[in-house]
Chains A and B, each alone.
Chain A
Amino acid sequence: MTTTPEHAFLGEEFLTWLWYRSESGQATFTTDQGGAVAVAFDDLLVFGGEDENRMQQTLRRGLPTLSLEAKAALQAGKRLRKARLVLADGPEQWSFTLDGATLAFGSVRCPDPDGDDDEAAPTPAELDCARMDGFARLARRLDGVYRLFLDERLSDDWERASVPSLRRWIDEKRGERV
């Protein structure tokens, strides 16, 4: 996608907020759908400058959130544009790449809907349905987490508490060793 939607920064801030929450032990979210979902960062981070046409930095493989390059990018004020995430809800797990600017889902892997060996094999139609449902459930779960972010982002506490905490978290990365 080449055009950047209005308020694209909101999705990028959401990604950074998720990263902060995952590193501060607050990455389990109780959404308005009732269940608790956990979010973790996987093996891809893409950073960019304020201007979308400027150079991007992509970190792949291993645990890029722990890399010196990721810390340096954050401290240089680069925005987290894209990240590969793992979302877990009970025993179910989805992995996907989330584009902050568009909230488009890339390379999604859904929980296997084929069922346990003990259960009767699903019909082809049931299998198709379960696969579609896997994508839709991921989107709805992430919507729930995004809603929690919006609650915080649009509250008075954002400027007063959240931004200083995020800035402190970024600043404290200076002292960390890999």
Chain B
Amino acid sequence: MPRFRKSGSFTRCHVEGPMPKPGDEALVVALAKQRFRSIENAASEEHSVGWVSPGDATGGSFLVDEILLDPHVRLRVRLDRKRLPRVWVQIHLDSALRAREGRPPSAKERKELKDEIASRLLPRVLPSVGFVDLFWDPKEGEVYVFTTSRAGLEAVQKLWHQSFGSRLVETTPLELAFRAGLGKERLKRLERLAPVPFVPPPGETGRAPARRAPPAAAAAGDEGAAAQEAGR
């Protein structure tokens, strides 16, 4: 079994909704129901997403010892995608069009021909394989998803919901703030918060006044400004 990664990029999520306990058989059953299914020889499916265990990339087995690593639960998602090389479709299409006799095909006929070629070629294409590692911290209710790609994260969120019924909610600055245990007053402020320009717009005071004050101000007897400048 490959060791868990020691570096990488991750997105944090928290679990909303009930989950099976890590030691429950229900957890492994839920994973197995949504196990990865190969599209290697599939005639029409172009992508497949499902659970695999860290030690078996086929999705054929889920060994509890590989998954339950107290206090964490180690999980892995496999994402396969078949992409038909456009140039191959074009070569076959051109060849089919040359073989036809009579009037040129309509747009509809041309599309049907292209679809037929695609369905004929698709089973011969090997899918690209991708994995997303994740681990669940049941005590904190957090899941660390080792991808920062939007498509990868959404695929994992969808699979999670299909498997367990609960939702994986991505951690954002606002969401984390709401979970930080702030008091009522601060939560109200949080909702009304607007970004602060750290460089104030022209006309608004905010920069160090001593630097902005024209020397003439002090010379004209502006003692306050002069004193402020001396104090800096």
Binding site for B on A (CB under 8 A): 1-3, 5-14, 16, 74-77, 97, 99-110, 112-113, 124-125, 127-129, 131-136, 139-140, 143, 146-147, 150-151, 153-154, 158, 163-164, 166-168, 170-172, 174
Partner of B69, one of A14, A132, A143: A132
Q: Which of B43-51, B79-87, B118-126, B172-180 contacts A (4 or more CB under 8 A)?
A: B172-180
Chain A residues whose CB sits within 8 angstroms of the CB of B170 once the complex forms: 5, 102
Most chain A Cβ neighbours within 10 Å, of B5, B176, B198: B198
B211 on interface, CB distance cutoff 8 Å: yes
Tell me the bound Cα distance from A75 to B22 in angstroms: 51
Task: Name 21 A/B residue pairs within 8 A (Cβ), A-sorted.
Answer: A3-B150, A7-B177, A7-B190, A9-B195, A10-B177, A11-B173, A105-B11, A110-B6, A128-B74, A131-B5, A139-B142, A140-B140, A150-B190, A154-B182, A154-B189, A154-B193, A163-B196, A167-B199, A167-B206, A167-B208, A171-B207
Instruction: Give the size of the chain B interface in residues (CB under 8 angstroms).
Output: 50
Q: Can you list, as one digit per residue, whether each of B199-224 has a CB less than 8 Å from chain A (1) or not (0)?
A: 11000001110010000000000000
Tell me the bound Cα distance from A128 to B173 in angstroms: 29
Chain B residues whose CB sits within 8 angstroms of the CB of A134 once the complex forms: 6
Contact assessment for A132 and B4 in the assembled complex, using a CB-CB cutoff below 8 Å: yes
Tell me the bound Cα distance from A132 to B137 in angstroms: 9
Tell me the bound Cα distance from A143 to B181 in angstroms: 11
Known: A10-B193, A131-B5. A143 touches B10 (CB 8 A): no
B114 on interface, CB distance cutoff 8 Å: no
Contact assessment for B189 and A164 in the assembled complex, using a CB-CB cutoff below 8 Å: no
Q: Can you list, as one digit per residue, whether each of B127-140 has a CB less than 8 Å from chain A (1) or not (0)?
A: 00000000101001
CB distance from B145 to the nearest CB of A (A): 10
CB distance from B92 to the nearest CB of A (A): 35
Q: Can you list, as one digit per residue, whether each of B2-45 has a CB less than 8 Å from chain A (1) or not (0)?
A: 01111111111000000000000000000000000000000000
Contact assessment for B180 and A132 in the assembled complex, using a CB-CB cutoff below 8 Å: no
Contact assessment for B137 and A136 in the assembled complex, using a CB-CB cutoff below 8 Å: yes
Contact assessment for B4 and A77 in the assembled complex, using a CB-CB cutoff below 8 Å: no
Chain A residues whose CB sits within 8 angstroms of the CB of B198 once the complex forms: 16, 74, 77, 163, 166-167, 170
B164 on interface, CB distance cutoff 8 Å: no
Tell me the bound Cα distance from A101 to B176 in angstroms: 12
Partner of A146, one of B4, B65, B176, B211: B176
Nearest residue (CB) in B for A134 is B6
Contact assessment for A103 and B208 in the assembled complex, using a CB-CB cutoff below 8 Å: no
CB distance from A45 to the nearest CB of B (A): 15
Chain B residues whose CB sits within 8 angstroms of the CB of A150 once the complex forms: 177, 180, 182, 186, 190
Contact assessment for B180 and A129 in the assembled complex, using a CB-CB cutoff below 8 Å: no
Contact assessment for B72 and A8 in the assembled complex, using a CB-CB cutoff below 8 Å: no
Tell me the bound Cα distance from A124 to B54 in angstroms: 13
Chain A residues whose CB sits within 8 angstroms of the CB of B8 once the complex forms: 107-108
Contact assessment for A13 and B10 in the assembled complex, using a CB-CB cutoff below 8 Å: no
